[in-house]
Amino acid sequence: MNNSLIPGNYLFISAFVIQFLAIVPLTILKNEKKAFVISNFILLIGLVLGLISTLSSKLFSFASFSSNDTLLFSNWIRLDGLGLYFLFIIQLVAIPTVIYNFSYLQHYIDQKRSIKSFVTFYIILLISTQFVVMANQAILFLVSWEVMSMSAYLGMLLEKEKEEVQKGSFYYFVASHLLVFILYIFFFLLHHQTNSWLLSDYHLTAATISLIPILFILSFVGFGIKAGFMPFHFWLPQAHPIAPTVLSAFLSGVIIKTGIYGILRTFQFLKPIPEWCGWLILVVSIFSAIFGVWYALAQHDIKRLLAYHSIENIGIIGIGIGIGFIGSANNLPVIEVLGFGGALLHTLNHAIFKSLLFLGSGVIYQNLGTRNIELMGGLVHRAKYLAILFLIGSIAISGIPPFNGFISEFIIYTGFFQTAKELKNYYPLLMLLFVVGLAFVGGLAVACFTKINSIMFLGTERKEVKHFHISVFDYISLGILALLCIVIGFYPQPFIGIVNKVISNGFVAANSPSALLNMNWLSITIIFSSILFGVIVLYFAKMQIHKRYGRRTSAAWSCGYENQSPRMQYTASSFADELNTIPKTILLYNKKVDSSKRVIPKPSSFESHSSDFVDNKIVLPGYSLLGKIISKIEFLSRTDIRYYIAFILVMIIIYSFIAFLWI
């Protein structure tokens, strides 16, 4: 055991105590607004102290990081490189979302709606998520995971009177408990083989190599449901849009990353892992990335669109993990470092820019009262700084330089090329196919966010907006996240160093050459900075010309028409129609065109809709079939609660008996 990773363990413990204390004002103060403000402020202090404690570890310093673990509280808490890295992501994203809460929840207070329960569940969610990545004891991990899942579910019910909230939260509830059941089996098998409940003891030997495929599949399915890989994603586009915005941002930015954490932690249990595991993750991930962004392109609901982009980016992270697995199977640390490095950095990047985009969409929703992109337009005239911040997130998520999304995707591309170079044979052709697939994803992402920004912010208003208000808290939270997108894009070296330390602490041998550090990041910084400097110079030159010679203004070009109305502008449906028609069978893309062929035309209309293939063709028919089977069972049709209590007791006895045999 080594406690040198956290120089101030008291600060570490104090941070969590303060976060727990944030619940107290909600229970003792009757004034709703006062209780919320005090609670949120205490929570913010606890998170900042927690982040300082995490940043005090050797993982984030210039000192060498060779220690494997920091074990606390009878070895139940573990802070190794992987755990500290994900703890850092959780705390980093939680801080701006908590700041955003000061403004966001004020709307509900003004509507005389009680928010004490929501804030309580949100605090529990933040704390339990941190415990998930720190837990070194399997039962503590599973309990923390269940608390995390249930607090998120209960937080979704803030507007439980809405039908879409009831439906979306039910999807989340079912998926959460399905994956927990799979994880229980996973950890029972690990305990059976190692005779320990401590994650730090889970290292399989050659004698148990036959169990690796079973454990890998259980892990990939269980954690893959949480992460949102296709086809396990069916719950995500239903649950994320209906959650309160601050919860949507945390769910998409952080919670689904616990699935990525679980897959990476499993790798440490099972390595060296068979190569077919890497290919399985690669194939699933490229399909998740391609169809995630394609489904996003077909959406009109801004939050549902962003939810599908989470599936796309989880696919990109999975591609990096798959490359790392292939490198591990072939004992090639260079490929491992590039694969896992790209995946880890993109995990951080996605948490940042996706939270930025969700919070930005929340500001728009609070002012317009709708999530329908078709009803938006001209917002740049109402909130130009919001348009700029949202554009930064859009460029970052599309993987376009000079922001952070480009850096992590660049590493993954390099991983493809390095794999082709090192392994030869048929690998170059396969890697080329994946490179083309990833490039295609980037192209669709650019098209999608061009649609969003042009429809929402440009043009004229489609819906009358009498007042558009953005508070200082909104700007602070969005500004922090946008600044992080810029900093990591222009100066990635410190973050590359952190990721490299994580990989050296449990993924590859500490003395392995680092392909990440050997990349010429200084050149990227110089190129991006030169471009920025050139743009700034041109801008000030333009301003000087305007000041000296004046500025000529004229009406925007209107394609030969005068007095354009909002109906003459592109809509979200028409903008993406051609691209969505290509895979219409998989997207279940339907459009209705009502056009007039008369000499004197009557009003015409166009609308399009897309449904999730997995949800409509697999999940819903399966749920319907299960309902029919259950309805045939007389026992389950009884209304007396005693039957259900007896049934639960019988199941507890069966589970206990199985656990006793395995122990």
Tell me, yes or no, if the pTM score tops 0.85.
Answer: yes
> Among 354, 338, 572, 545, which Cα is nearest to 456's?
572
Is residue 302 domain-resident? yes
- Give the residue with greater pLDDT, 492 vs 202: 492
Query: Does the pLDDT value for residue 19 go beyond 70?
Result: yes
For residue 160, being part of any structural domain is answered with no
Assess whether 483 and 409 both reside in one domain: yes
Short-list 189, 64, 78, 86, CA closest to 130 = 86
Per the domain annotation, does 11 fall within a domain? no
Rounded to whole angstroms, the Cα distance separating 79 from 54 reads 10
Kindly report, residue by residue over 192-250, the tens digit of the pLDDT: 888 888 888 888 765 567 788 899 999 999 999 999 999 999 999 999 999 999 999 99
Helix, strand, coil in percent for the chain, rounding step 5: 75, 5, 25
Question: How far is residue 446's CA from residue 400's CA, in Å, rounded to a whole number?
Answer: 8
The pLDDT confidence band at residue 562, using thresholds 50, 70 and 90, is: low
Query: Same structural domain for residues 477 and 380?
Result: yes
Q: For residue 131, tell me if it sits in a domain.
A: no
pLDDT digits (tens, 9 = 90+) for 311-348: 999 999 999 999 999 999 998 999 999 999 999 999 99
Domain that holds residue 311: 271-506
Which range, of 1-5, 381-385, 392-396, averages the lowest pLDDT? 1-5
Write down the pLDDT at residue 1.
47
Dump pLDDT digits (tens) for 119-166.
Answer: 999 999 999 999 999 999 999 999 999 999 999 999 999 988 889 999
Q: Tell me, yes or no, whether 75 lies in a domain.
A: no
Q: What is the DSSP letter of 372?
A: B
Answer yes or no: do 603 and 631 share one domain: no
Judgement on whether residues 498 and 633 belong to the same structural domain of the protein = no
Average pLDDT for 374-393: 90
- Angle CA(284)–CA(609)–CA(250) in degrees, nearest 5? 55
| Residue 304 domain-assigned (yes or no) | yes
306 lies in the same domain as 431? yes
Q: Are residues 576 and 427 in the same domain?
A: no
Count how many domains the chain has. Answer: 3
**447-476 tens-digit pLDDT:** 999 999 988 988 778 777 778 889 999 999
For residues 61 and 296, the model is more confident at 296
Residues 411 and 385 in one domain: yes
490 and 586 fall within a common domain: no
Q: Please tell me the predicted confidence (pLDDT) of residue 596.
A: 63
Decide which of 481, 506, 531 is a domain's last residue.
506
Please name the amino acid found at residue 314: I
pLDDT tens string 565-579:
666 677 777 777 777
Note whether residue 203 is domain-resident: no
Domain assignment present for 141: no
pLDDT tens, position by position, 536-555: 999 899 888 888 888 777 66
Please give the average per-residue pLDDT across 639-649, as a whole number: 68
